Chains A and B, each alone.
Chain A
Amino acid sequence: MRMPKPRGPLSEWVVARLATPVDGGHAPTADEWDDECIALWTLHEMSYRGFEDAADDAEWQPAMLAVRHELEVALEQRLRRRWPGADAEVADVPAALEAVVAADDGPSLADHVRRRATTDEVLELFRQRSVYQLKEADPMTWVIPHLPVRSKAALVELQYDEYGGGDPNRMHSHLFARGMVDVGLRAEYGAYVDDALPETLELNNALSMLGMHRRLRGAAVGHLAAFEMTSTLPSRKMVQGLGRLGLDGPMAAYFDEHVEADAVHELLAARDICATLAEDEPDQAAEILFGAFTCVDLEARLATALLTSWDAA
Chain B
Amino acid sequence: MTTRPEVEEFDHPDVVVVPHGPMLLRGATSVQGVDGTVHDVRRPVVALCRCDKSSRLPFCDGTHKVIPRR
A residues apposed to B, CB below 8 Å: 149-150, 153, 157, 160-161, 165, 170, 232-233, 236, 259-264, 266-268, 271
Contacts and interface: CB of A to CB of B under 8 A. Distances in A.
Contacts of B43: 161, 165, 260-261, 264
Interface of B: 10, 12, 18, 21-22, 24, 42-47, 55-56, 59-63, 65-66
A170 B65 CA distance: 27
Q: Is the interface of A mostly helix, strand, loop or mixed?
A: helix
Nearest to A102: B65
Contact of B42 (A150, A170, A233, A264): A170
A232 B24 contact: no
Nearest to A268: B45
B62 A263 contact: yes
B18 to A, nearest CB: 6
A263 B44 contact: no
Given A233-B66, A267-B21, A267-B24, A161 B44 contact: yes
A264 B10 contact: no
B24 A264 contact: yes
Nearest to A256: B56
A259 B60 CA distance: 8
B38 to A, nearest CB: 16
A264 B62 contact: no
A267 B17 CA distance: 11
A23 B14 CA distance: 55
